[in-house]
Amino acid sequence: MGIKNPKIMLDDHDYRLYRKLPGKTVWLCSHYYINEKEFRCKNRIETSGRVAYVKGIHNHQPRPRKDKYKNMLSQMVTIVRQP
């Protein structure tokens, strides 16, 4: 995780910061940012304090890489999964 480009990792999926709003922050799956619109992943996380609301489902498989977690910080949060 970096200060300039923060990222969330959950279930071997990456999420990038999309928008900061009053009271919540929206994170989009990194597969949202691919070129072909029909293949974009619509899964997102909305955080508010130490609660993370996971919305939607992924349209792709995770790509686990052990080196991803090398320089990251972890935090305790409550995860709420919503369809």
Topology of domain 7-82, CATH: N-terminal domain of TfIIb (2.20.25)
pLDDT band at 1 (very low <50, low <70, confident <90, very high): very low
Angle at 22 between CA 31 and CA 33, to 5 degrees: 10
CB 52 within 8 Å of CB 80? yes
Residue-level pLDDT at 23: 95
Backbone angles phi, psi at 6, to 5 degrees: -65, 155
16-63 tens-digit pLDDT: 999 999 999 999 998 888 778 788 898 999 999 999 999 999 988 887
- For 30, 37, 70, the CA distances from 34, given in Å and listed in that order, are 8, 7, 25
Residue-level pLDDT at 11: 87
pTM (2 decimals)? 0.81
pLDDT band at 67 (very low <50, low <70, confident <90, very high): low
Residue-level pLDDT at 21: 95
Helices (runs of H) and strands (runs of E) counted in the chain = 0, 6
CB 37 within 8 Å of CB 23? no
